[in-house]
Amino acid sequence: MKIIDLSKPIKFNKKDPWFMRVKIKHKPHKKAKWLIRLFGLPFKLFPKGFTGWADDTIEKMGVHSTTHIDAPWHYSPTVAGEKAKTIDEVPLDWCYGDGIVIDMEHKVDFDPITVTDIKEFLTAQNLVLKAGMIVLIKTGRDKFNGTENFHKIGTGMSAEATHFLIDSGIKVMGIDSWGWDLPLPYLVEQAKKTGNSELFWEAHLVGQEKEYCHMEQLVNLNALPYSGFKVAVFPLKIVGASAAPARVVAMMEE
């Protein structure tokens, strides 16, 4: 079986905007020697060659800072009038299933992905959406991940396209752009320019009406065929959280 990693590395990157920056403290093996001594084990009883254990502390990392899956709670406190699920409440059977790639790499920056775009791709590739599939939207923008402008460029999903996927039985979907919608700074600019309050975060806000999860900041979708693989996207079980980092992987027979 071949396993393909669809998750970005978690590390400090000075080019990330401040709200995405990760800080991890790596503690060397020798630090643990003194901790063990404090627990009462004399140095003379340390095992031969034992140097202590390495340890690490995540000192700063937002749940949306890296490859992650958003819970319904992220979009709204309620879905269709009922309390939205936090990430620890998302059923794990949503998080594993047949994968399908929808290739939208041809879409230019700020041009939203529509239902027509998705249907035309599926027809051209003779693919069919089935309930329980995990849909991966490939835009090719993961090549900008880790650069200063990552969150400012790219295409994104429209509300109608998000509705279409959910109505097709899809509970989990994801994208290799910074966000699920068009870039956030662009949406702010357009909303202010036009005075249209419906422009901002339209795809995310589908979650006020229909229950679903989406992943953001996927990588390596170019390594996948359009179908014929499984996807696993198990989030950290952070109680009450709106999202969680996830090690997203695709698995296929060689």
User: pLDDT tens-digit profile of 84-99?
Assistant: 999 999 999 999 999 9
So what's the pLDDT on residue 115?
98
* Residue 220 clears pLDDT 90, i.e. is over it: yes
How far is the CA of 179 from the CAs of 67, 129, 173, 193, 231, in angstroms?
A: 10, 22, 12, 21, 20
Q: Measured between alpha carbons, how far is 204 from 140 in angstroms, rounded to an integer?
A: 21
Q: What is the mean pLDDT of residues 213-234?
A: 98
| pTM (2 d.p.) | 0.94
Domain boundaries, the chain: 23-60, 68-252
Q: What's the whole-number mean pLDDT along residues 177-188?
A: 96
CA proximity to 169, closest of 122, 116, 129 = 129
32 — pLDDT class (breaks 50, 70, 90):
confident
Phi, psi of 2 (to 5 degrees): -100, 130
The beta strands (E) that lie in the chain are given as: 2-5, 23-27, 55-60, 68-70, 78-79, 82-83, 96-103, 134-138, 172-175, 213-216, 229-235, 243-252
For strands 172-175 and 213-216, give the pairing.
Answer: parallel
Helix (H, G, I), strand (E, B) or coil at 20: helix
Whether the predicted pLDDT of 127 surpasses 90: yes
Q: What is the pLDDT of residue 49?
A: 83
- CATH number listed for the domain at residues 68-252: 3.50.30.50
What average pLDDT does this structure show over 59-67?
96
Query: What is the average pLDDT value for the chain, to the nearest integer?
Result: 95
- In the structure encoding, which two tokens stand for residue 52, read together? 């202590």
Q: Is the pLDDT of residue 37 over 90?
A: no
Among all chains, which residue has been given the structure tokens 């170019």?
A: 222
Q: Give me the half-sphere count of Cα atoms (radius 13 Å) on the Cβ side of residue 226.
A: 14
